[in-house]
């Protein structure tokens, strides 16, 4: 039987109630909070067939210690990330402008959640993670993702190098982001099937991952810092891809 988790935060819980209400086992709302956002969430829960319970704030604090729950906690049965077979099925059905995000060992769940949020906003088709030495879809990652963790297909794979080879065979052009790369992001024509590959906090892309990339590019920096947080870099490269594609359609 799947193990339940406690998720928290208004956006994260709203996403579950909208997309997978049948997997919401219990919902707790903070007593005494009658603000519009919590009232709307309670009404949405009732419509989805989930009856919320009003409890003291201390109860919510115990359910999700060291987290800012925003007055709402839910017990859910999360679906596990997809595997390599599911990823192959997905990529076979994607069109010529498919866009993927590959995260090579991002270990901070806050960064992972922010990357998922940016990927969903930029219209990415899926996110790929290594199964080991990488942050998983924890409650913290789901909260930071603000619903993107439920909206966007996420795949945890055992052999990232093998997956990158398969993506290339499926017609994807692999772009790796690296601060020391000679080519600038803004010099690239981002056309066709693309998979953006970004590395872990601090260390960046691993050697074997780098070797599988077709092109390494840097984000030009205008200040004194040498690099961007991985979630910020993810947003920059994905939205530059989106910008170029929208400009092409407008021509």
d(CA 85, CA 182): 35
Grade residue 138 by pLDDT with cuts at 50, 70 and 90: confident
Residue 134 belongs to domain with CATH number: 3.40.1280.10
Q: Please tell me whether 228 is known to bind a ligand.
A: yes
Q: Is the pLDDT of residue 142 over 90?
A: no
Residues 66 and 92 in one domain: no
Q: Please tell me whether 219 is known to bind a ligand.
A: yes
Residues 92 and 138 in one domain: yes
Where in the sequence is the domain holding 9, given as residue range(s)? 5-76
Residues 11 and 96 in one domain: no
Q: Is the pLDDT of residue 2 over 70?
A: no
Q: How many domains does the chain have?
A: 2
d(CA 113, CA 91): 23
Q: Is the pLDDT of residue 1 over 60?
A: no
The CA-atom distances, in angstroms, between 214 and each of 106, 173, 209, 211, 239 are 21, 6, 11, 8, 20
Q: What is residue 86's predicted lDDT score, i.e. its pLDDT?
A: 94
CB 90 within 8 A of CB 125: yes
Residues 60 and 29 in one domain: yes
Q: What is the pLDDT of residues 174-189, one digit of tens each?
A: 999 998 899 999 999 9
Locus of tokens 């439920």: 150
Last residue of one domain, picked from the residues 76, 103, 119: 76
Last residue of one domain, picked from the residues 76, 109, 135: 76
Residues 11 and 128 in one domain: no
Q: What is residue 20's predicted lDDT score, i.e. its pLDDT?
A: 86
Task: Taking residues 104-110, report their average pLDDT.
Answer: 92
Residues 69 and 98 in one domain: no
Q: What is residue 251's predicted lDDT score, i.e. its pLDDT?
A: 62
Q: What is residue 147's predicted lDDT score, i.e. its pLDDT?
A: 83
**Residue 233 CB burial class (10 angstroms; 0-12, 13-18, ≥19):** buried
Residues 105 and 44 in one domain: no
Q: What is residue 146's predicted lDDT score, i.e. its pLDDT?
A: 84
Last residue of one domain, picked from the residues 26, 46, 76: 76
Residues 183 and 217 in one domain: yes
Task: Taking residues 150-173, report their average pLDDT.
Answer: 94
Q: What is residue 24's predicted lDDT score, i.e. its pLDDT?
A: 93
| pTM of the full structure | 0.83
Residue 26 belongs to domain with CATH number: 3.30.1330.30
Task: Taking residues 74-94, report their average pLDDT.
Answer: 91
Q: What is the pLDDT of residues 32-68, one digit of tens each?
A: 888 899 999 999 999 999 999 999 999 999 998 877 8
Residues 138 and 244 in one domain: yes
Residues 102 and 31 in one domain: no
Q: Is the pLDDT of residue 115 over 80?
A: yes
């Amino acid at each position: 039987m799947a193990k339940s988790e406690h998720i928290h935060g208004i956006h994260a819980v709203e996403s579950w109630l909208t997309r997978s209400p049948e997997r919401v086992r219990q919902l707790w709302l903070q007593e005494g909070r009658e603000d519009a956002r919590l009232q709307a969430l309670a009404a949405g829960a009732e419509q989805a067939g989930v009856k919320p319970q009003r409890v003291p704030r201390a109860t919510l604090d115990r359910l999700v210690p060291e987290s800012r729950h925003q007055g709402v906690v839910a017990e859910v049965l999360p679906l596990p990330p997809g595997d390599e077979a599911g990823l192959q099925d997905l990529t076979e059905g994607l069109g010529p402008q498919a866009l993927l995000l590959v995260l090579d060992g991002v270990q901070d769940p806050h960064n992972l959640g922010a990357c998922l949020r940016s990927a969903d906003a930029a219209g990415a088709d899926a996110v790929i993670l290594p199964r080991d030495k990488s942050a998983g879809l924890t409650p913290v990652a789901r909260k930071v993702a603000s619903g993107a963790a439920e909206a966007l297909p996420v795949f945890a794979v055992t052999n990232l190098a093998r997956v990158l080879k398969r993506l290339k065979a499926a017609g994807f052009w692999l772009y790796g982001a690296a601060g020391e790369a000679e080519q600038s992001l803004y010099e690239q024509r981002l056309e066709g099937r693309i998979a953006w590959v970004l590395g872990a906090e601090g260390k960046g892309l691993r050697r074997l991952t780098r070797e599988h990339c077709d092109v390494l590019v840097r984000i030009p920096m205008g200040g004194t810092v040498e690099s961007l947080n991985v979630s910020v870099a993810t947003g920059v490269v994905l939205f530059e891809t989106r910008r170029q594609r929208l400009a092409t359609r407008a021509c």
